[in-house]
Structure 1
Amino acid sequence: MGAAFGWGLVAGSSLVIGSLIAIWFHISLRVIGLIMGFGAGVLISAVAFDLVEEATEKSSGQGVAVWGLFIGCAVFFGGDWLISRIGGGDRKDAGGDQEGGSALGIVLGSVLDGIPESLVIGLTIFEGGAVGAAYLAAVFISNLPESISATTGLASGGWKKSHILWMWIGIAVVSGLASLAGYSQFQDSSPDTTAFVLAFAAGAILTMLADTMMPEAFEHGGKLVGVVTTLGFAVAFGIHALG
């Protein structure tokens, strides 16, 4: 169980690293957009090869994975809509639009973004005895641009840098706890239940990418984002293939 929490914390630690990078160095909005595009490509690859493919192989029929995918999408969409209503809709914005939002909404939104991917880390540890290197690398890499962009925007919106840093530290700990939950809550699960959880996470992550991450990437990075997104996908697929 300690390993599940530890690996979830490792994946979440890149949120803190990304925040420190944004605090210590000035990064242009265009570069942030391109970095976010790369991170989106990494996550798309992880969804395709580490989640959906695995869910399909474990399930007794295609319906389990499909239901999980769409229910994960619906749950994230609903949660994101509610969080947007309380001021967390612009949590990843690099331009400072968070100034008009609420601290609670931004924190809850950031937690919502990270829980699905962290649950899977714990689940994969239980299933195989060790966390999948490709998936862990994908989550770690994709967290960096998310926190760089959000930290830049929060700082521009008037948040104190110490408050921003503590927020990401807290979310990293929550990521570890979510991974621990994924490990402990599904120990007696059937293959179909495991497949459903994997597909659920995939649907939630895809919806997060489309709703919050990729729009920001294209807004600030322009058409070149398509190229770096493909590059991110290729890098993550390469890690998956080697693993």
Structure 2
Amino acid sequence: MAPGGFIRRRWALGILLAAAVGAFLVWWLGAQMRDWLGTLSTLQAGMLASLVAGLFTPLGALPIMVLRHISQRLEDALMGFGAGVMLAATAYSLAMPAYEDSLALTGTIGWALMIVCGGIICGGILVWGMDRFVPHEHFALGKQGGADALQIRRIWLFIFAITIHNFPEGLAVGVGYARGDMAAGVALTLGIGLQNLPEGLIVSLGLLAIGYSRLTALGAALLSGLVEPIGGVIGAFAVHVVDALLPFGLAFAAGAMLFVISHEIIPESHRKGHERDATFGVLGGFMLMFVLDKVF
């Protein structure tokens, strides 16, 4: 066998082994979370689960202690993976449950559809407003969010940019537990957490590339991840106080995540000529979230 073929085979076996170990760890973590969160109220579970999902962001940034860059092709594939996870979570863990709960609440398909569509629109408008008026900066698109962006240190602009992504995700996790379905909540938490891993890595590497230290990049990932429990507390508390808000809240979170996927993640992953890799990433992320939704 040629040396090149032997090396490729070793890489393939290494990837398969890593995937198998990763799948086992995800299953084990999900089982532990389901048992642990099952002893809590839905409000407590939503709050704590959103914190767990948020902490995946700095966890994903840890490889920067030994890495300074990854290929653009891999970065785009990882972004596509995150988009795929979010798409599946939006459909299976938010929009469909929102419709089922709306139908049970109203008893008519028309009203149920109006609640879901209204929630999706409102969620999208919220994130559009944040994107329009909150000063932030993207590595590719530059400073956005008004003239104030020119007067704020870059590190904070990048943190604000990730905040716009992470707040809807925390909101989704917090609202997701309000239904009382712990298994579905755990699947949503793991899905959001797993897509936070590449997000934390990509943002941290970007900060290294523009001159920030490793510790600063890790701190930025941690701060941005802590936005998710804020969204989780707001979502969990709102639907806990007013039960009738649950279907609308689920749809609202779905709309917010859809806006982020279409407006930010997919365009970013398709702008440097690696559309195929990004699209396969979307497929992989979607399948993973679908599996999590059915396993747990």
What does 1:134-149 correspond to in 2, within 5 Å?
A: 134-149=187-202
How many residues align? The count is 235
1:192-231 counterparts in 2 under 5 A?
193-220=245-272, 221-231=274-284
Match of 1:48 among 91, 97, 115: 91
Q: Which residues of structure 1 form unaligned runs of 5+?
A: none
> Which of the numbers 74, 77, 85 marks the counterpart of 1:31?
74
Give how far 1:141 is off: 1.2
In structure 2, C-alpha distance between the alignment counterparts of 1:231 and 1:124, rounded to whole Å: 23
* Stretch moving more, 116-125 or 48-57: 116-125
What is the RMSD of the two structures over their aligned residues, measured on CA atoms? Answer: 2.3
Partner deviation per Cα, 1:49-68 (whole Å, 9 max, x = no partner): 11110111111321011011
Of 36, 40, 54, the match for 1:12: 54
Does the CA-based 8 Å contact 1:32-1:148 persist in structure 2?
Answer: no
2:160 matches 1:118: no
Whichever of the two has the greater Rg, that structure is: 2
Greater shift after overlay, 204-213 or 124-133?
124-133
Tell me, yes or no, if the aligned pair for 1:80 and 1:89 is still in contact at 8 Å: no
Structure 1 distance, partners of 2:141, 2:94, is 33
Could you say which structure has the greater relative contact order, defined with CA pairs below 8 angstroms and 6 or more residues apart?
Answer: 1
Distance 1:161 1:113 in 2: 22
For the 8 Å contact 2:55–2:225, the answer to whether it is kept is yes
Q: Tell me the distance in 1 between the aligned counterparts of 2:188 and 2:283.
A: 17
Q: Identity of paired residues, percent?
A: 25
Match of 2:7 in 1: none
CA shift digits 1:160-184 (9 cap, x unpaired)? 3222211222233332233223222
Q: Which residue of 1 aligns with 2:232?
A: 179
**How far 1:186 sits from its partner (Å)?**
2.2
| 3-state SS of 1:185 partner | helix
Contact 1:119 1:179 in 2 (8 A): yes
* Preserved contact between residue 54 and residue 198 of structure 1 (Cα < 8 Å): yes
Q: 1:76 maps to which residue?
A: 127
2:285 match: 232
Partners of 1:240 and 1:71 in 2: CA distance: 25
Note the residue ranges of structure 2 that are not aligned, 5 or more in a row. Answer: 1-42, 107-111, 144-149
- Relative to structure 2, which stretch is displaced further, 49-58 or 230-239? 230-239
| Change over 3 Å in CA distance of 1:97–1:80 after alignment to 2 | closer
Contact 1:96 1:156 survives alignment (8 Å) = no
Deviates more, 1:21-30 or 1:225-234: 21-30
Runs of at least 4 residues off by over 6 Å = none
Q: CA deviation at 1:20?
A: 1.4
Deviation at 1:120, TM superposition (A): 2.5
Q: 1: CA distance between counterparts of 2:227 and 2:276? A: 35
The SS at the match of 1:240 is helix
* Secondary structure of the corresponding residue to residue 226 of structure 2: helix
Measured against aligned partners, the alpha-carbon deviations of 1:185-234 in whole angstroms (never above 9, x if no partner) come to 3213233x111111111111111111221122223433222122112111
**What TM-score, normalized by structure 1, do the two folds share?**
0.87
Distance 1:184 1:40 in 2: 27
| TM-score in terms of structure 2 length | 0.72
Shift of 1:23: 4.2
